[in-house]
Structure formats: C-alpha cells, structure tokens
Chain A
C-alpha cells in the first residue's frame, strides 16, 4: 500500500496536501469545511486554467512562458469590447479569439519556423504584454459590467460558472489524453523523431498544443476579469512560472511525454491550499512565495530520493529473478 502511493507522484502529493490541510485545521478551527473547499477551488481557477493550457505544450517537450501576457491581452480585449458596448457573448468571443490567435503565433514560430520554444515564447511574452499596454494606453480598465462579474460569482452550490467550465475542461482533457489522438501528443514529446518516422503530423500537433494553450489563457483572462471586476496593467504577470511549478510538482516532466491531468489538478490545488491556509493562519501574504517555494523543493527532493531508491530495488529484484533459476523457491521464504 505504502509502496503504491510512493510510486505514484499524484497519490503522494494528494496525501501531502491532505496532511497540510489537516494540520492547518488543527491550528485554525473552522478551516476544515465545505466553504474552504469552494474558496480553494475558486482562488485556484486562474492558475488551474493557465496550467491546463501549458500542460499539452510541455507534453510535446516544448515550453510556453507567454501565458501571463496572453492572459492579460485577452482580459484587455474583453474589457475594451465590453466598455465599447459590445454584448457579453460577443466580447467573450473576441477574448477567446485573441487568446487563440496569440497561441497560433507561438505555434507558428515553434512548429513552422523551428524557433526553440523557450526563445519564441520569451519573445512573445514581451510582445503580447506590449500590445496589451498599447491597446489600453497604460490605463487600467475599470467599471466592468455586472453581467461579466456574475460569471465569477459563486452561484451554483458554491461554484461559479467559470468554476464549472473549468471542471468540464479538466474532464475533457482527461478524456482526450485517453484517446488515440491524445496518445499522439504524449509520444511527440517522448521522441519527436520517432513520431515523425511513424507518420504522425508532429508539426500540426505542436501547433495545436500552442493554440489550445492560447485558448486556455483566454479563459483564465476572462475568469480573472470576472473575479476582480477590473483589468490592471500587470494582469497575469508571472503566473506562467507558478503554473509550470505546479505542473512539475504534479509529476509532469519538463522533458516531455510524461504527465497526467490528475497531476495538473493536484499540483494547482496544492499551491492554492498553501496560499489559502496562510490566510487562515494569519501569516502575512508576503510569506506566500517563500513558503510555496520551500514546499515545492521539499516535495521534489523527497520524491526524487524515493524514486531512485525504488528503482534500485526494482532492478535488483529483476536480476535476482532473471539470473538465478535455482533460487526460484526462495521468494516464498522471503515473504514469510
């Protein structure tokens, strides 16, 4: 039992999260409640959507650090459209379109022109933020209509509309990765040359991963604007690094080809839980980064050590089995 959990990063992290929450519950009575759960979910929505966006990009062994800028750009497109009198559904469409266009630009740079993804998205990180600032003239966008804010308000059993949409996205990604095409995304990151050799459209897969990421950043931008009711200049700034940290924590390999939706969800929830707990424990918010970073390193180090130990044991067991036929009756004694 212990071993199965130790082998599974998602299970390990789930238990650590539960342990942290229980400890906080002991220290701050009233913390453990359904209300706290909905707060954590709602506080984590933006990070969750950004992480879900980067997830397929990292699976294909690329990286996208322009997420925060695309989030900001989409939120600004949304705000400007609404303040210009466009209807909400139309404005949402514009925001989503802006996100997808930005994602396609990233995708064309990487899959089309062959620019390394870190270089391409570092460039567009500045580019999209610049476009956003020019569009607003450096001003904040305020007085967003109530109709938008209601998307972020908790209305259905403690869940907002954006919260429900995010849950549906998670299910959709889970389902997609189980499909034949979903497997294509995984193997493209595992060994791109092999995927090409076997006739998979690797460039199209990469392009679509970036386009998907853009769409998710746009959803995150919409959620962001709906939750706080205005769009500041630095909207989304730096969130891509937090999302990547959450993915790494959830067992998604930066080398591509490895990771699960469960890992994404638990990684994000872990980070959000810590932030929320600190509020309950009345620790000043400026401690968040330090504590979050320390927990990230702690979990990764322990997990890494555990994995090395288990692998060494597996290998030893394999060779014991393979090379020593006369000792075949031994395992019984070992078990006893």
Chain B
C-alpha cells in the first residue's frame, strides 16, 4: 500500500450549530487520483477547504504527510505541499497572467516564465503570459487557476470541478497532466459531477451525502447505479427527454446575417415553445452573440426580428421590457445580490413593474410560487441569497428570469457547477417552460446536455454558424461539426 499523503481523521464542522460534516474520514495516497462526489450541500467543498486550511474544523484532525496541519492556514497547507484549485477562479484582475500564476512562489515570476509557457503549450490553450487577467474569459480564468496548481507541483493537488469550463480537448490534456502527476507519486483529489470523467482517471471514489461518507470504494468496484443511489437515493438516472417534437408554430425570434464582436453573419430562427441549443467550443462566439442581443455589447450589421418587429436593446433591462431575458454565464458579475433577501432578488428584473410604494408581502408570495415551482430549498423568503448553495442560487436566478415573463429566455451555461439533483430540476423546468410556450435559447458547452434538451441544435465555431442539426443528433456529431470548423479556421 502506498503511503498516505493527506488525511482527515473524523473531521466535523458545523456552522451556527448546523452540522455540515459529521466525523468524516478521508485520505489521499501517493500515486492515486481520488474522486470526491456528492450533491450540492453534501459538504465536499467544506471538506476540501478544511484540508487546504481555508476553513477551521470544529472537531477531528487534519494531517498532511503524517504531521498535523498547524496552524490551519492556507499558507501552512501550501508549505506542507497541498494546493486546492477552487471551483471559482480567484483572479488578480490588474496583474498579468504570469503574475497571477506565480504569485506567492519563492522566486520572482520571471524565473517561472519558461515553465508556464511550456504548460500552456502542453494544455494547448491560446493564452499569453503577458495578458492582463481582467480581459480573460471565464474559461481562461479557470485555466489560470489550474496552471497555479500544476506549477506548484504540490504533493497533494485538489481540483474542485476543474473541467466545468473546459472544452473536451482541454479536458483530455488536463487528464494527461493529472495522470503524469499520479505516475510521479503525487496524490490528487478530483471533484466533478460528471461520472464519465471520474471513471476516466480516478482510482478510488468517496461519496458524501449530508455530511456523511456514504460510499468509499475502488472506482472499478462501484457501478454508476451504486454511485447515483449513494448520492441521492431516489434519483437513479438522468431521465431522457422525449424525442424532438415537431414544431410548426410561429417564429418568435429570427436573426438575419447578424454580426458583432466575436461573430459574423449569424442567421437562425427560434420558434414558439422551442428549445434551440446553441453550442460549440469555448470561443465560438455564442456568449458574445447572447450579450449583443441584450445590449451588453455593441451590435454590428444585420437584423433581429422579435415577433415580427425589429428588435434592438440598449441594455439588458431594455431587452427584458421587450421580452428577451438573459441569464449570464458570469454569475459572479451578473448574478444575485448576495446580501439581499431572496424575494428582492426574484423581483430584481422587473423592478420597474413594481408599485412606487413596495408591497413586500405580495413579492414574498410571488417568490413562494417560484420556490414551489422550481424546488428552491430555503428557510424563508427573507433569507439572504448568499446563504444558499450553488444549485439553489441558480434556481433563484431562474426565478428572477421567469418573473419577467419572457417571450424568449436565453440561458448561458445554466447548469455549470450544479450537481446532478439540481441539474435534473433545471432540465425539468426548461422542458416545462417550453411546453408552456416560452422559447428557450440554450447556450451550453456540454454536448450531452444540448442533445438532451434541444429541439434543434445550431453549432457555432470561430464566430460562424458551422451547421444545424435536428433533435436526436449525437454528441459525436456536434463535436465533429464544432471541431472541424475550428480546425479549418486555424489552418
């Protein structure tokens, strides 16, 4: 048996008397990749933050290389050879990519430039070490965070959902790096909601539910059904959506040769009650297109027709008034008001429809309807939004969008970083909305998700429409279309 590199010994944690972790044991050995799985609120992130010294345990002991983590600070954990790549990238916006990666290392950043460039080339992303971090897209920020972990060559490397913003190709190269580290005797913890990813690289699996370890076994010895049952008893499998229904209803939105920042000559239609999947690899121009539609970016040539009338929005709130609501992928910037009560958040898109003297009880009631419809788990409508878990926050964002009663709902990566249970709920909500006649433009890099939900699929690559596929297309077909067009672009 290989030596244990890091260990949590019956660790407990409670916040304000509410237990989050109950005497959890967890260990990482040299030369293994350990999968950690669990629904939102299961305690995975807290567990890893305790291991990394970011959160203090209420009981139990944390040991790294057989020595207790003392004092329990990130600096000490780093010194003892452990690094946590967090789920949300922590970026210094005013520093270069190189500084972002190398800050805190013992030598000046210039000393690591060659190594950073080598890693960037290996992963195969177009990222320059001298770019100012403020200009990076979400996916690139995630890559910077992963590079931080790789360059530190920590003996124990924890990756909290590192693949959520990566393209399939980048995921493969990340896996290759992880396997190389494992071969070199490092121990890794890999947190992901995607079972097939965990299967591809992990040796052992631990499943958490409600702060308890409910499954701990070799990866080979557990079937998908075992793992899903352990995670959330009752949910056995992601239900597939009925085959793409024939839609012959009227056109809600049509784009005619629209151009703007990052995309050229885009034409497509969205019909009433239809889910149009808009997919492609990162950098295809999908997010830019959505942001242009709602007035976040300047629009170039081309026409947009909404229900027979020319549509032009100067700002997202202007777009809301005209019937297009946009849920941004950048939840940190365009997300919730974290300190405000849930019901404020739910009506924040429609503040201009509220009476001059607010009627909080009416708002609370309205929120309660959405809470029941979307299955938001919360104690009270007056709770601050920041106190909810990620999946529940995403549902509150959906509530805020629905409150605006959109004709067209644009969802940009609606399930990124959301666990299986909440993801299923969000899928169900999207289907119900479509059935009720709302049109949905679903932007997603998760080809499986696009296939599951979409009535039609438009694939973008390099700012162009690479092709359109009917419902029932396979993820492989999408992938082929998205990457072929990209290759052609690069030659």
Contacts and interface: CB of A to CB of B under 8 A. Distances in A.
Interface residues of B, number: 34
Contacts of A315: 261
Contacts of A190: 92-95
Contacts of B285: 323
B75 A201 contact: yes
Given A187-B103, A197-B74, A322 B262 contact: yes
A319 interface: yes
A194 B78 contact: no
B90 A194 contact: yes
Nearest to A255: B94
B103 A198 contact: yes
B125 to A, nearest CB: 14
B446 interface: no
A194 B92 contact: yes
Q: Which of under 10, 10 to 19, 20 to 34, or 35 or more describes the interface residues of A?
A: 20 to 34
Interface stretch (A161-169, A178-186, A299-307): A178-186
A316 interface: yes
A258 interface: yes
Nearest to B101: A198
Given A197-B54, A198-B74, A316-B261, A322 B93 contact: no
Interface in B208-260: 260
B155 interface: no
A199 B489 contact: no
A198 B144 CA distance: 13
B79 A199 contact: yes
A199 B463 contact: no
B92 A323 contact: no
Contacts of B283: 322
A330 to B, nearest CB: 14
A191 interface: yes
Contacts of B262: 319, 322-323
Contact of B90 (A197, A201, A253, A258): A197
A324 interface: yes
A33 interface: no
A193 interface: yes
A187 B264 CA distance: 38
Contact of B462 (A187, A316, A323): A323
A257 interface: yes
Nearest to A258: B94
B264 A199 contact: no
Most B C-beta atoms less than 10 A away, residue of A194, A195, A200, A257:
A194
Q: Which 7 A-B pairs have the closest CB atoms?
A: A194-B90, A323-B463, A199-B75, A198-B104, A319-B261, A199-B78, A190-B92
10 contacts: A183-B99, A190-B93, A191-B90, A191-B91, A194-B90, A198-B148, A199-B74, A199-B77, A322-B283, A323-B264
Interface of A: 180, 183-184, 186-187, 190-191, 193-201, 253, 257-258, 312, 315-316, 319, 322-325
Given A187-B95, A191-B90, A323-B263, 6 more contacts: A180-B107, A184-B103, A200-B104, A257-B92, A257-B93, A319-B261
